[in-house]
Amino acid sequence: MKQKIHLLLILLAFLNCSFTNSQLLKNLTSSYESFSAYYLDDTKTGDFNYNNRFRSNNYLNIKSNIAKNWNLELQIESYAPNALLNYSPNLKDTGISTFKFQYTNEKIDLTIGNFYQQFGSGMILRFWEDRNLGINNSIRGLNANYRINDQINITALYGAQKKGFKYSKGYVLGIDTEIDVSKIFKNNSTLILGLSYVGRNDNKTTGTTYKNTTNLYSARLDFSSSSYYSNIEIISKSKDPIMQFEKFSDNFVKKGSAFLFNTGFIKNGFGIDVTFRRLENMSIYSERDAFGNTFNESIINYLPALTKQHDYSLTNIYTYQSQPNVSFVDPELIKVGETGLQLDLYYFLKKKSYLGGKYGTNLSLNASLWNNIDGDFDFNNKNYKTNFFGSGEKYFSEISLEIRKKWSPKVDNIILFVNQFYNKKYIEEKFGEINSKILVIETTYKLNKNKSLKLDLQNMSTKDDTKNWLAVGLEYNLNSDLSLYVSDMYNYGNTIKERKIHYYNFGASYNKGINRYTINYGRQRGGLICYGGICRYVPESNGLSFGVITSFF
Amino acid sequence: MDINYFKSLIIILFFTQSVCSQTNIPSIYIKTINGKSINSKSTLNLDGLTVYSFWATWCIPCINELDAIHNEFEKWEEANIKLVAVSTDDSRTKRRVKPLINGKNWKFEIVLDENQKFKRALNISGVPHTIVVKESEIIYRKIGYKPGDESDLYDFLLKSSKKLIN
C-alpha cells in the first residue's frame, strides 16, 4: 500500500511541475471533506469508554478528464487514529477507498472500478455514498451503459460490493432496460417502461433448500403529463433463507416481493400525492450473513421509510425506519414486512388573497400509516402465509401540518404541528408504544441585507417512554460568511431525575466560496441519526467537533 | 497507508489548485421533471450565464434561496441569465418535487439528479450549492445560503454578464 501511495505522490508532484498545460492537470478537480471530534467525559452521560478520544473521518476525491471521453477518479479515505463513534469497524486507517476508469461518449458509458448505480426507484438496486451514515456500497467491477437511441437505454453491471476498505464475498449481476414510449402521445406526456434483473451470488452461506444465487426481477411504468403523474413498480425475489438469531435454516426459506404505486395531481397552487408500498421479505445483501448489520453495509437495494423527512431535532426522536424483513422474535412479535401509504397535500394561498396576505402562504399536510403485513403465522414451525391486501399491527402513523408564512420583508415564520404514533416494540424490537404531539415555531428576522436571526422553539408532549421534551435553537448570521448558533434539547418530562439532561450545543460555521469550516461543542443525544430515511445508531457523547469541506477545481 | 501521506497529498492539491482552476460542466445524464433522460450539457445557456443551484425538497435553506431568486427572477431573465435548479432528492422524496414547484410557481428549469451522479461529478458534498457557468466554463461556486446571498449573487452575475457582452 505504501508503495502505491509513493507512486501517487510522485505522479501528482510530477504533474504539478511539468505538465501545467496538460489535459490531465487542466481538468483535474478534487474535493476534501473532514469530520473530526475530540470526545470528553461527561458528568451526565458518562465517561468516554473507548480508545482514542480524538477521532477523524477524512475523504479526498480526485477526478481527472485525462483525454477526450476518458476519465479517472480516485477516492482516498482516512480514519485515523479511529473513525468517529459508531462507524463500521471496517473503516480504519488510511487507504484507497474507490478507484475508477471511465470511457464515455454520447452512446456508451463504460466504467471499470468502483461505480454507483440505481435501477428504477432503487427498490431493486441502488449503490450510493452517504458519508453522514458511513455508507459507500459502490460496486467494484464493470458497469456498461449503452444508449441505443433516444428511446432505449440498457445498463449491465457485475462486481463485488465495497464494505469499508474490504469487499463482499458475494457477487452482484444487474441488467436494466429503460424504454421511452412517449412518442405515442401527441402532447408533452411521457411514458417510460423499465425492466430489471438483479442476481446475487453468495457461495459462503449454502443450503439444500435454496440456491446460491438469489434472483430479483422488476417491472415499472412511469407516466407523466403536465398536471397528472403516476408510476408503478413490482419486484419479485426468489427463495432466500431467513436469518433468525444470527443463523440460517434450511427449513425457513421464503420468497420476497415489493409493490409500489404512486400517483399525484397538481394544478394552480394545489398538489396531491399518494404513495402505496408493500414490502415482504425484501432486503437483499451482497453477502447473506450481513443481514441486519447496524452499519448499513452490503446493502443492494434502497428501501427508505416513506414518511415526511423532518428537519427539527424533536421531530427526529421517534423516526420510523422501514420494516422490509421477516422476524420471528417471539409469538407476540412477528413481522414479515410492511404495508402502508403516505399522502401529501400542498396548497398555496395566493398573494393578496384574504388568507394568503400580502406575500401568500404555503400550507402542506403529510399523513402516513405503516403496518405489518396481514397473514397466518406459525411461530413453532417457522412458517407463514400472507395476504396481499389487509394489514397487521400498526407500526407507525403520523399527521403533520406545516405553514410557511412571510409577514413582511423582514419577518417570516414556519409553524409545524406533528401528531405521531410510534410502535417501539415492533420497530426497534424493544418495549412500548409512544403517542406524541410536537409543535415547532420558527421565526426568521432579517436585520439588514446580510444579517439575520433565526429562532426555533419546539415542544414534544407525550405520556409515554421518556415523556416531554423542549428544544430551542438560535442562529445568528453575522454576514454572508459567518454564522453562530446555540441550541438545547431538554427532556424535562423524564421521571428519572438523572435523565433530565440538557443536550446543549453551540458553534459556528464559516463559508467562503467553496470552503466551509464548522466547529461545535456540545452533548450528543444517543439514538438514531437519520438521513434520507436510513438511520444509524450513535451513542451519547460529549465533545468538540470540527468539519472542513473544500473543493479544488 | 500512513496519515502523513494523506496530509501531503492534500497539501499538494492545495498548491496545484491555482494551476488547474478551469473546469467545464461534465457530460452526465440527468432527468427532466417528466422523467426523460437528457444530457447535462443540453441545459447550458451557451450565449450567456447559467446558474446551477443544487437543492432538495427537504433542505430549508435551499428552498429559501430558490424562493428569494424567484422573487427577482424577471431581472435575471432580462440579463439573459438561466437558472437550472438541480433536485438531488432520491426516491424517498423525489415525488415531492412536482407539487412543491407547482405550489411555489417557480418559473426556472428544474432537473432531477436522483442518484446524485451530476452532483458527484462536480465534487459537491452538500446542498445548497451554487455553480455559475459562463458559456461552458465554471467561474464561481458557493456552498450554503444565507438570507441576502441572492443579491450578492445577482451583482456578481451582472458584472460577469457585462464582461460577456463586452
pLDDT tens-digit readout, A44-68: 888 999 999 999 999 999 998 888 8
**pLDDT at residue A19, rounded to an integer:** 47
pLDDT-above-70 percentage for chain B? 84
> Where does the pLDDT of residue A351 fall: very low under 50, low under 70, confident under 90, or very high at 90 and above?
confident
Query: DSSP character for A526?
Result: P
- Asked if B4 reaches chain A (Cβ–Cβ under 8 Å), the answer is no
Expressed in angstroms, the distance from the first to the final Cα of chain B is: 51
Find residue A402's DSSP bridge partners.
Answer: A364, A416
Average pLDDT (A276-304) is: 95
- B-facing residues of A in 368-407 (CB < 8 A) are none
Q: Which residues of B touch A449 (CB under 8 A)?
A: 148, 151
Q: Does A449 touch chain B (CB under 8 A)?
A: yes
Residue B36 one-letter amino acid? K
Nearest to B147 among A8, A444, A515 (CB): A444
pLDDT at residue A17 in the model: 41
* Contact yes or no for A94 and B2 at CB 8 A: yes
Q: Is pLDDT of A75 > 70?
A: yes
| Interchain contact A91–B (C-beta under 8 A) | no
Separation in Å, CA of A246 to nearest CA in chain B: 29
Residue A139 pLDDT exceeds 90 = yes
| pLDDT at A477 > cutoff 80 | yes
Q: Is the pLDDT of residue A152 over 80?
A: yes
Cα–Cα distance measured from residue A313 to residue A324, given in angstroms and rounded to the nearest whole number: 26
* CB pair distance less than 8 Å for B99 and A13: no
Q: How many helices (H) and strands (E) does chain B have?
A: 6, 7
CB proximity list for A309: less than 8 A, separation 6 or greater: A532, A533, B58, B92, B93
For chain B, domains (ranges, CATH) are 23-165 (3.40.30.10)
pLDDT at residue A9, as a whole number: 57
Share of chain A above pLDDT 90, in %: 77
Q: What are the boundaries of each domain within chain A?
A: 1-303+535-553, 305-516+524-531
- B16: enclosing H helix or E strand: helix B3-16
B130 Cβ contact list (under 8 Å, min separation 6):
B51, B52, B53, B54, B65, B140, B141, B142, B145, B153
Q: Quick one: average pLDDT of B107-120?
A: 94
Q: State pLDDT tens for residues B4-46.
A: 666 666 666 665 554 444 578 888 999 999 889 999 999 999 8
Q: Determine whether the interchain pair B20/A516 forms a contact, defined as Cβ–Cβ distance below 8 Å.
A: no
Question: Phi, psi at residue B119, to the nearest 5°?
Answer: -60, -45
Cβ(A339)–Cβ(A278) below 8 Å: yes
Q: Tell me what the pLDDT averaged over chain A comes to.
A: 92
The confidence score (pLDDT) of residue B61 equals 86
- Mean pLDDT, residues A515-520: 94
Residues A447 and A476: beta-carbon distance below 8 Å: no
pLDDT number for residue B5: 65
**pLDDT tops 90 at residue A531:** no
**Average pLDDT, stretch A300-308?**
96
Shortest Cα–Cα distance, B76 to chain A (Å): 19
Instruction: Please state the rounded mean pLDDT for residues A411-434.
Output: 95
The C-alpha cell at A300 is: 443492494
> CA-to-CA distance for B95 and B89, rounded, in angstroms?
9
Interface mutation vs chain B, best among A309, A358, A453, A481, most B CBs within 10 Å = A309
Residues A290, A168 contacting (CB under 8 angstroms): yes
CB–CB of B143 and A515 under 8 A? Answer: yes
pLDDT, tens only, A93-110: 999 999 999 999 989 999
- The whole model's pTM is what? 0.92
pLDDT above 90 (res A348) = no
**CB atoms B115 and A262 under 8 Å:** no
Mean pLDDT, residues A75-81: 94
Scored b (16 or more CB within 10 A) or e, B94-129 reads: bbbbbbbbbbbebebbbbbbbbbbbbbbbbbbbbbb
ipTM of the complex: 0.88
In Å, how far are A230, A254, A295, A322, A375 from A326, measured between CA atoms? Answer: 29, 9, 19, 12, 12
The CA-based dihedral angle spanning residues B130, B136, B138, B141, taken in that order and rounded to the nearest 10 degrees: -10
Per-residue cell: A101? 476508469
Among A2-16, A187-201, A312-326, which is the least confidently predicted range?
A: A2-16
The pLDDT of residue A6 is 54
Tell me: pLDDT of A218 over 60. Answer: yes
Do residue B12 and residue A12 have CB atoms under 8 angstroms apart? Answer: yes
DSSP string, A49-84: -SS-SEEEEEEEEEEEEEETTEEEEEEEEEE-S-PS
Quickly state the pLDDT bin for A124 (edges 50, 70, 90): very high
Does B92 contact A362 at a Cβ distance shorter than 8 Å?
no
pLDDT of residue A262 exceeding 70: yes
Helix (H) or strand (E) holding B78: helix B73-78
* CA distance linking residue B66 with residue A93, whole number of Å: 41
- Cis bond leading into A304, ω under 30°? no
When CB atoms are compared, the residue of A178, A452, A553 closest to B146 is: A452
> Which residue is it, cell 443536550?
A503
For residue A197, the surrounding DSSP H or E stretch is strand A190-201
Sign of torsion over alpha carbons A111, A112, A115, A118: positive
Confidence of residue B147 (pLDDT cuts 50, 70, 90): confident
Position B102 scores a pLDDT of 85
Window from A118-127, A234-243, B8-17, B142-151 with minimum mean pLDDT: B8-17
Cα of first residue to Cα of last residue in chain A, in angstroms, is: 27
Please tell me the predicted confidence (pLDDT) of residue B16.
56
A277 reaches B (C-beta below 8 A) = no
Mutation target among B4, B6, B97 for the A interface, most CBs of A within 10 A:
B6
Question: Which pLDDT belongs to residue A5?
Answer: 56
Q: Return the pLDDT at A73.
A: 95
Task: Give yes or no for residue A508 having a pLDDT over 80.
Answer: yes
Q: State percent of chain A over pLDDT 70.
A: 94
The answer, yes or no, to whether residue A26 has pLDDT greater than 90, is no
Query: CB-based contact (8 Å) between B14 and chain A?
Result: yes
Query: What pLDDT does B23 receive?
Result: 77
Query: Hey, which residues 109-148 in chain B have their CB within 8 Å of chain A?
Result: 114-117, 120-121, 123-126, 138, 140-144, 146-148
SS3 readout for A462-498 = CCCCCCCEEEEEEEEECCCCEEEEEEEEECCCCCCHH
Report residue B166's pLDDT band, with 50, 70 and 90 as the boundaries. low
**For A217, how many CA atoms within 13 A lie in the half-sphere containing its CB?**
4
* Higher pLDDT pick, A133 / A38: A38
Mutation site for A-interface testing, chosen from B18, B125, B151 by largest number of A Cβ within 10 Å: B125
Helix axis angle, B60-71 relative to B97-104, nearest 10°? 40
pLDDT of residue B11: 67
